[in-house]
Amino acid sequence: MSSHSKIASCPAVFISAPASGQGKTTITAGLARYHYNQGRKVRVFKTGPDYLDPLILQRASHHSVEQIDLWMMGEDYCRQVLYQAACKADLIIIEGAMGLFDGNPSSADLAAFFGIPIIAVINGKAMAQTFGAITLGLTQYRPDLNFAGVIANNVASERHQGLIKQSIPKNTTLLGCFPRNEQMELPHRHLGLIDPNEIEDFDQRLEMLANEISLNELGELPRAVVFKDSVNQTPMPKLKSYTIAIAKDEAFSFIYAENIRLLKALGATIVYFSPLHDQDLPVADALWLPGGYPELHKEKLQNNQKMHQAIQQHYQADKKILAECGGMLYIQKTLTGIEGDSVRMVGLISGDGHMRNRSGCQGMQTALLPEGEIRAHAHHHSRSENTIEPINYAKRATHPAPGEAIYRSKGLTASYLHLFFPSNQAAIVELFSR
């Protein structure tokens, strides 16, 4: 980092919890909508690899939401995006991943690195005074962390609320108690929360949450945090005169905003198309088929034979294709649902995708590609059988076992991995170049 770093100061808070499923996204969305309603510019970040929570937080804050992760992005990148947000925002909210101390680096590591005060959201369901013990453990476990306080979620009654209040240790602030209320919950399915565009009363839920924030006197801005700029090299436009067509619709939507921003900074022209609704591909040098929920739309994807033919022609012309997770299921031969119903897919390479109830390989991994190493993650509820021989396997961040298989055929690169493009610009240029 340069010795002449610029600085910006902005109120900031980090929302975490003792585990997944405590209500972090619900509280974060409520806070974002409340402050937006007060006329403030709110910038929200989500820790770790996640595509669905950012869609919800984007609706709540009326601003695009980006990932922030020390392992996937590195310290300088994280520093840069927070500084840029602090220059324009009235409030920065970061939602953590899993439990506060889970993972390496954890949400706690990120909060400590930037000195951001933490609010811990604890699901009070089926406990009373034990709430205080969990609060004590979370807030005292690491002395380098700064806690703004705790929020009790899923509180059943005034009596329940009273027992929780009595249990709170000294020097800890109980910032609010959120009642158990199905109308304020955010619906979810197998890979996480449901896309807000599929929920009719989504904005009403957000307004109810914002109202609950005001009732709990959570509306005060947190203390300001100072963020330093990081020296950021402007990419050379090495993809100038390249057009990259990206699949984007109800079936394919797992796209990092940072990936798009990098491709544009590299000079690429970005066009979008829908494998569900379009009959043909836009004119393009390369295709990117990201992850999503092809299994929820498999019959419609199967029936769009004209799109199959267009993608097959692109592949036969030896043009580049990146197929990630759901995108890979789409370019294999078949996809079979949980009920055993099988449909034909595009069939660029052999491989049969099977949906299943339990999750497959998960977590942070490094894609070991001929072009170079790219940081990535995997999270899926399917497996692929009868595939071609992989050219390599990913390297897991914290485990010696091999990660996801990486396949290559002609200009196609396919894997369950979701790549974070800015982690290796040069490799991304090679991956999409002719």
Give the chain's count of helices (H) and strands (E): 13, 26
Beta pairing class for 392-396 and 402-409: antiparallel
Question: Phi and psi at residue 427, in whole multiples of 5°?
Answer: -65, -40
Give the residue ranges of DSSP H helices in 317-386: 326-331
Rounded CA-CA distance 95/278 in Å is 36
pLDDT value, residue 182? 66
| Residue 46 backbone class (left: φ over 0; alpha: ψ -120 to 50; beta: rest) | beta
What are 246's strand-pairing partners?
Answer: 272, 288
Residue 367 three-state SS: strand
Q: Where are the beta strands (DSSP E) in 180-263?
A: 188-189, 192-193, 224-228, 243-247, 252-254
List, for the chain, all residue ranges whose pLDDT scores fall below the cut of 70: 1-5, 182-200, 358-361
Catalytic residues: 325
Amino acid (1-letter code) at residue 224 = A
DSSP state of 13: E
Structure tokens at 58: 């984007």
**Host H or E run for residue 197:** none
Query: What are the residue boundaries of the structural domains of the chain, listed by start?
Result: 7-228, 243-432
pLDDT value, residue 169? 95
pLDDT value, residue 48? 83
Residue range 7-228 in CATH 3.40.50.300: yes
Please state the pTM of the whole predicted model. Answer: 0.87
The architecture CATH gives domain 243-432: 3-Layer(aba) Sandwich (3.40)
Length of the chain counted residue by residue: 434
> 107, 194, 192: which is closest to 362 by C-alpha?
192
| Residue 349 backbone class (left: φ over 0; alpha: ψ -120 to 50; beta: rest) | beta
- Topology agreement, domain 7-228 and domain 243-432: yes
- Say which residues have a Cβ less than 8 Å from residue 39's Cβ, sequence separation at least 6: none
pLDDT value, residue 4? 54
pLDDT value, residue 3? 45
CA angle 83, 85, 32 (to 5 degrees): 140
pLDDT value, residue 2? 41
Is the separation of the CB atoms in 257 and 64 below 8 Å? yes
Q: Where are the beta strands (DSSP E) in 180-290?
A: 188-189, 192-193, 224-228, 243-247, 252-254, 269-273, 286-289
Residue range 138-153, pLDDT digits in tens: 999 999 999 999 999 9
